[in-house]
Structure 1
């Protein structure tokens, strides 16, 4: 009786596509399976499969005499990561990623707060346009533009000269480790470009989290006698923290794996991305390149686990 009623309400359609449509209507799980199979195959074979192949390569080693890969299970390649030269690369990259993340949060929070609490109407549209506009231009164009800005003959040096502050710039460049002959070949320059490139990824999640903070909570805190500093520390910051952590996922992970910015702007000391590129390409040491690649994966897995416990994914 139910079948007859269904047929009377929705009569069968003729032709191949009509029969196919009827079959999908009667079996919605079949349609869902067919729709999800291609992306899941892509994710499983191309993405996860390549990661597993990378992990497998890291357990091989290179014969020092012949230079050929020895396909025997060993942890010797991971032991090489603990050598001073390789460990310095890892430490240098993690410190840079952490510094970029902290500085981006310090700069991005006031901008996000203004956009969330005060920008209305067209000003909010202008805010989004100003934040998103740099993302629409070419990644390489922005980096090379910064190389010209930071160069010894660049506009930044010219501004310091016009302000009679070349002594200050020379003092900054004379700092050990982070200094150099010019900003374009120093860690300071690398740091500035990293912050510029990834700053929008910090501002947007922070702004989204701040918009969800009820204004009456801030008013109540003030009515109860809290100073602005106490309100910020006990009310605003804890509620905005998931958004900040969500933004830090982007800034930290993108800095951790980037190799183009340090290649163009910075000193000759390598970062993890450059080490992977050089070991896989120039040196031909694929197992060591794979071991270097596993390092940011492990770091980000731990970081994402901590971020999930802090509710950061709610602000993504």
Structure 2
């Protein structure tokens, strides 16, 4: 058999039917297949997500006629100037401070849990670790929040536990702290803080654990051999290498706290957070431009935060 005949015989004959012709077409033109596969998600991202964000950004430059209550579609910075009013600026600062505190507390609590899982959990114990971390995520978000509402209530199990341990004066002293206290934990910033930490904790544990698993054990052994005590090993070896994972987890805890409005609505005081302000301005007040301007604030904050996180290599631990 000649070489030409061998080459001709090596090529499969064209298949019949629509599916066969399409298969041959995609085999000959793989770029067309990639184009068809990427077009739906790109259109969804471009039209639904980016389009809505662009529309939101445009509306934030509109203003509201205080006399008629109608939106004036004219370019102005008047709405953004309203964010600097004491009442609105307090909402922004309150939300940012809460998000920062929740992120810090989540990192402190999550690190030893993640370290134990990365260093000592093996086999079924590691499976139990993942199950324990992921299990709260499988339950309803609202069910968890309302459950914490009952736990933190004045007649809840936490108050009962303080009474059983005869340390109720400590709880009363905590609730008596100005600004963050209240009649009970369920109507205080402390309660809001506790629920935020509980709900977003898994998002901090998993990236931190993934980063700690990448820390070579021989580095910690070398630090010990060179005379480093446990604190020095943690400070100069473990923590710097685990920092990208912590920052990756903080992206979730910080951003989710920044935009959440359900938890402060159910657990906490009457003072608003950004999410509640957006809901109130767009729904009750009908001030869509101000609601859009409030929405732009966390977008800008998270944009800067993600830029800083990228510089620290946080996306490598996601």
Are 1:221 and 2:223 an aligned pair? yes
Structure 2 unmatched runs, 5+:
none
Please report the TM-score for the alignment, with normalisation by the length of structure 1. 0.98
**Alignment-derived partner of residue 266 in structure 2:** 264
Are 1:202 and 2:204 an aligned pair? yes
Matches within 5 A, 1:62-141: 62-141=64-143
Matches within 5 A, 1:16-95: 16-95=18-97
Cα 1:3–1:197 change in 2 (3 A) is: farther
Please report the TM-score for the alignment, with normalisation by the length of structure 2. 0.98
For residues 209-257 of structure 1, the C-alpha deviation after alignment (integer angstroms, 9 at most, x for no partner) is: 0000000000000000001000000000000000000000000000000
Cα 1:57–1:6 change in 2 (3 A) is: farther
Secondary structure class of the residue paired with 2:199? helix
Are 1:158 and 2:156 an aligned pair? no
Give distance in 2, aligned partners of 1:109 and 1:100: 14
**Alignment-derived partner of residue 178 in structure 2:** 176
**Alignment-derived partner of residue 287 in structure 1:** 289
**Alignment-derived partner of residue 144 in structure 1:** 146
**Alignment-derived partner of residue 15 in structure 1:** 17
Cα 1:226–1:75 change in 2 (3 A) is: same
Cα 1:3–1:70 change in 2 (3 A) is: farther
How far is the alpha carbon of 1:3 from its aligned partner? 12
How far is the alpha carbon of 1:9 from its aligned partner? 2.6
How far is the alpha carbon of 1:314 from its aligned partner? 0.2
**Which 4+ runs in 1 deviate beyond 6 A?**
1-4
Structure 1 unmatched runs, 5+:
none
Equivalences, count: 316
For residues 24-69 of structure 1, the C-alpha deviation after alignment (integer angstroms, 9 at most, x for no partner) is: 0000000000000000000000000000000000000000110000
Give distance in 2, aligned partners of 1:75 and 1:136: 43
For residues 261-310 of structure 1, the C-alpha deviation after alignment (integer angstroms, 9 at most, x for no partner) is: 00000000000000000000000000000000000000000000000000
For residues 76-127 of structure 1, the C-alpha deviation after alignment (integer angstroms, 9 at most, x for no partner) is: 0000000000000000000000000000000000000000001111111100
Give distance in 1, aligned partners of 2:255 and 2:130: 23
Secondary structure class of the residue paired with 2:146? helix
How far is the alpha carbon of 1:6 from its aligned partner? 6.4
Cα 1:269–1:6 change in 2 (3 A) is: farther
How far is the alpha carbon of 1:7 from its aligned partner? 6.7
Give distance in 2, aligned partners of 1:179 and 1:160: 17
Give distance in 2, aligned partners of 1:10 and 1:89: 68
Report the aligned-residue RMSD: 1.3
**Alignment-derived partner of residue 7 in structure 2:** 5
